[in-house]
Chains A and B, each alone.
Chain A
Amino acid sequence: MSNASSPPKPTMIEFRDVHKYYGDYHALRGINGTIRAGEFFSLLGPSGCGKTTLLRTIAGFEGIDSGAVLIDGKDMAKVPANLRPTNMVFQSYAIFPHMSVAENVGFGLRRDPRSKAEKAAAVEEALEMVGLKGYGGRAAHALSGGQRQRVALARALILKPKVLLLDEPLSALDKKMREHMQVELIKLQRQVGITFVLVTHDQEEALVMSDRIAVMFEGEIAQLADPETLYRRPNSRKVADFIGTMNFIPAEVIGTQGDQIEVEAKGLGRALLNADQCPAGRGDVPVVGLRPETLTLLYPGQTTSERKVDGVIDEVIYFGDMTYYDVYLGGTDVEVRLSMRNTPGRPILEVGSTVDVAWSPSALVLFR
């Protein structure tokens, strides 16, 4: 997670109005943005949003039709993939099947002037870094999915690139293994201090791993921010909908008071929102967004210092550690989902119960 007090890091990658066409298809539509040195950066979006294409323009596998991609201050327009200071972990891992693990990892050292023994030591060191010490002699095709991925990582990192590019590296692993590798990748990134650029369609993975995330839709970056901002203050309904769960409640803008905006949300009532809760308008029908965990169900006898509204439970979804309740608010047809942690002694309420729901105006985001 980003630390707000640390000084801003220097820029490692810069996109300047990058456009890319496949025939008539406009794959990248004016990408601007910077990736900082030493940052764990994610390109997040649904399939077909251009995130992989953008990653491949960094690697040099895709040319661009206009604009510029700069790595470490240098324009990459005329630099081919094999001369760029980037290395990539492919989605399929692209382990050379006719070579041993050590030959795979040491492949990039072919042009290295060091002695054979020094190269072998470097290979062994890289294997140790990814937890595959002593695997050098094995045939690459005999490895498991997780091991192949580690080999791919070691092979890319042995060249000490300025940027490591990861194209959905965890998508082929099962859930347990994926969560394990997420943590390992974060640790590895901290250890080597190289800029990591990850492509993923999994918003949870992006939130867990990244310092900053660019959310992409249809060839454009919709929002580029740190995970917390992205989650708490999404700049559009689309981003809010893509990341986590969000309730959208019809609202009306009443007026402004200084730099605050007063809204009337159906079922909740009036609320004053700060400027950071009101991203730029897009001419949409106004709604306010509210995350499930910012709503609290009040059990009989409980009170709150926040605002509250009465409601009727329409649906109860039990998740083990959590229970989700769908609640109709204040006698309206506005239904919100809220989540309650199942702490000891806290009962699961039944469908049809009348309850009070506590909420805070500071948790609202206005989309209009």
Chain B
Amino acid sequence: MKSRGLKAYAIGYLIFLYAPIALLPIFAFNDSRIIAFPLSGFTTNWFAEMWADRQLWQALKNSLVISGSTAVIATVLGVFGARASTRYAFPGKGGLVGLIMLPLVLPEMIVAMSLLVVLLAISVPLSIFTVILGHVLITTPFAVAILSSAFQSLDKSLEEAAYDLGEGPVSTFRLIILPLVAPGIISSLLICFTISLDEFIIAYFLAGADTVLSSYIYSQFRFPAKVPAMLALGTILVLVSVTLLSIAEFFRRRGIAKTGGKDTGGFL
């Protein structure tokens, strides 16, 4: 049995990856403020406590505004960038695309610090808007990467055929290009939303007096009494994430089936 070692490694790896997440719902329903085994009893109190936390609601609202705006802005910018980089040739294109993609590998810490310095220097008040600014900066490369592959697989003669049949550039974009890159747009929205939602450093540096979900959760862990409620919140976030990803994957597969393309795995 040569593969026994590999099998054990694979199982161990998966446990290491997912067991901590599995612990979230377990302790979220455990009737004790101490996070330790043995379990003492079943309760839904922590969910009720979380539900009643008005600061949490405010942080959630801020986070949703930030993530929603970031996803939309980054994806729109991504559409422009991907379109330009896949369809047109212009001098300095390679360098320009490289600069757009650079934030992918740039440490977020550096982005956050430099943005903070600049914003303070030109005395822009820190708020959720400055967080959106930072998040658009770091998520746009993801949007460009996802959408570039969507635009790349688009046959150029489809556009020409639409022109040839009497449509202008705008209606061609709406009738032909947009429907065919829609799965890419949905993926991009989702990825950018997720990255923005759980981003911590930029949100912590640039939010000023406003709290967002990630920094709020982190701050609550300083108070042992608040931890179970945060676990309850975590449980809900896991459920929401799984649901969102499933929906996105459903649309992606349906889009592929509808256009008769080959499923190449997708981003998710």
Chain A residues packing against B (C-beta within 8 Å): 59-61, 80-83, 86-88, 90-92, 94, 96-98, 107-108, 110-111, 139, 141-142, 155-156, 159
Please indicate which of the listed interface residues A80, A92, A97, A142 has the most CB atoms of chain B within 10 Å of its own CB. A97
Interface residues of B in 155-171 (CB under 8 A from A): 155, 157-158, 160-168
**B176 close to A (CB within 8 Å):** yes
| Listed stretches B8-16, B191-199, B254-262; interface member | B254-262
Nearest 8 pairs between A and B by C-beta?
Answer: A141-B260, A108-B165, A94-B161, A97-B259, A94-B157, A90-B157, A81-B163, A82-B163
Q: Which residues of A contact B168 (CB under 8 A)?
A: 82
Contact A81 B260 (CB under 8 A): no
Q: Which residues of B contact A107 (CB under 8 A)?
A: 162, 165
**B180 close to A (CB within 8 Å):** yes
**Residues of B in contact, count (CB < 8 Å):** 19
A-B contact pairs, 23 of them (CB 8 A): A80-B163, A81-B160, A81-B164, A82-B165, A82-B166, A86-B164, A90-B157, A92-B157, A94-B157, A96-B162, A97-B258, A97-B259, A97-B260, A98-B179, A98-B180, A107-B162, A110-B167, A139-B258, A139-B260, A141-B259, A155-B165, A156-B164, A159-B166
**Of the residues A82, A96, A139, A141, contact of B164 by C-beta under 8 Å:** A82
Contact A98 B259 (CB under 8 A): yes
A355 to B243: give the CA distance in the assembly, Å: 85
B246 to chain A, nearest CB (A): 23
A139 to B254: give the CA distance in the assembly, Å: 14
A237 to B241: give the CA distance in the assembly, Å: 71
Known contacts A94-B155, A96-B158, A98-B179; is A87 also within 8 Å of B165 by CB? Answer: yes
A237 to chain B, nearest CB (A): 36
Question: Binary interface profile of B, 241-268, with partner A (CB < 8 Å = 1, else 0)?
Answer: 0000000000000000011110000000
A86 to B166: give the CA distance in the assembly, Å: 10
Q: Which residues of A contact B158 (CB under 8 A)?
A: 94, 96
Interface residues of B in 111-165 (CB under 8 A from A): 155, 157-158, 160-165
Q: Which residues of B contact A156 (CB under 8 A)?
A: 164-165
Q: Which residues of B contact A96 (CB under 8 A)?
A: 158, 161-162, 176
Known contacts A81-B160, A97-B259; is A92 also within 8 Å of B155 by CB? Answer: yes
Please indicate which of the listed interface residues B157, B176, B180 has the most CB atoms of chain A within 10 Å of its own CB. B157
CB-nearest residue of chain A to B160: A61
Known contacts A59-B164, A82-B163, A108-B165; is A91 also within 8 Å of B157 by CB? Answer: yes
Contact B167 A82 (CB under 8 A): yes
Q: Which residues of B contact A110 (CB under 8 A)?
A: 166-167
A91 to B157: give the CA distance in the assembly, Å: 9
A298 to chain B, nearest CB (A): 54
Q: Which residues of A contact B164 (CB under 8 A)?
A: 59, 81-82, 86-88, 156
**Of the residues A60, A88, A98, A159, contact of B161 by C-beta under 8 Å:** A88
CB-nearest residue of chain B to A80: B163
A88 to B176: give the CA distance in the assembly, Å: 17
B156 to chain A, nearest CB (A): 9
